[in-house]
Structure 1
C-alpha cells in the first residue's frame, strides 16, 4: 500500500518543528530521513509536496544578534557528500553537469525571469526548497565554511556567485 503522497509502504511525510521542514518517517522501522526513500515516485512526490508542504511565508522574528538569514538554491552531483535529495533518491550527474545547471539557474535569476526563491522551490536539491530556499537565521560556525564566508559577505538583497561546498553547488541570497 502506498500513502497518498506516493511513498513506499510504511513511509509518511512529517513536519520537523525544530527545522520547520517536512521529513520522511518510516513508522515500521522507526527511522527518519530528509531525503525520500528508495522507490518513491519523485514526480508525484513533487506535486504532493508543492500542494501540501510548500510555504512562501517567512519568519517574522527579529534578527538574532550576530546572525544573518539567507536562502539558497543547491545543485548536488554524484560526488556531493550526500548524493540524494527530495527530488532524486540517487543523484548521478557529474560535477560539470551540475555546474551547467546552476549557471543556467544563475542566468535566469540575474535576468529577472524568476527569483531565487521561486526557482529553489522546484529545482533545489535541499529540503529548504519547500521554504523557497530559506535557511532561517544562522551565525558563524553554523554552516560549511565556504557557504558561510559567501553568505556573510553579501548585503541583504544580494545574491552570490556560484559557491562550491562538500554538499554541492549553491547560489545564495542574503535575506536579512
Structure 2
C-alpha cells in the first residue's frame, strides 16, 4: 500500500523502451532525501533526519505546485532538491539504459519529452522526473 506513490505511468512503456541499447534521453529531477536514503546528506543539509513520510509530504507538495503551473520543476530544483544537480535546475543531461538506478531509469524512459512522472522511490530518496529530451 505504501508503494502506490512510486508506481508510475506505464511500466509496459518502460519495457518497450528497448528500441536500441544506445538510446539516450535527457531528464531533470527533484530529489527529496530522508533519513533512510542511501546517503542521508546533501548540499543543503549535512545530516538529513526527516522520515520517509515527511519526505513524501514535501515532494507531493512540490508535485502539486508543478502540476498547477505555480512553479516549474527546474525552478523548484534549484532551491529544494537534495541532489547536486540542483544548481543546474535538476538537469541530469543525457543518459542511456544502465546508467541510473533501475526504478529511476524505468520511470524516465516511460515518459515522453515534456512529461512529469509521479513520485518515484529509489534508494537515493524520492524523485520527481521530467523528461526533457
User: TM-score, normalization: structure 1?
Assistant: 0.63
User: Runs of 5+ in structure 2 lacking a partner?
Assistant: 1-21
User: Runs of 5+ in structure 1 lacking a partner?
Assistant: 1-64
Q: Which has the larger share of helix?
A: 2
Total equivalences in the alignment: 112
CA displacement 1:46-99 (0-9 Å, x = unmatched): xxxxxxxxxxxxxxxxxxx51000000000000000000000000000000000
- The answer for the alignment partner of 1:160 in structure 2 is 117
Poorly superposed stretches of 4+, deviation over 4 Å: none
Indicate whether 1:96 and 2:79 are aligned.
no
Q: C-alpha distance in 1, partners of 2:120/2:100?
A: 13
- The answer for the alignment partner of 1:20 in structure 2 is none
Aligned to 2:97, what secondary structure does the other structure show? coil
Q: C-alpha distance in 1, partners of 2:23/2:106?
A: 14
- The answer for the alignment partner of 1:107 in structure 2 is 64
Indicate whether 1:119 and 2:119 are aligned.
no
CA RMSD, Structure 1 to Structure 2 (Å): 0.5
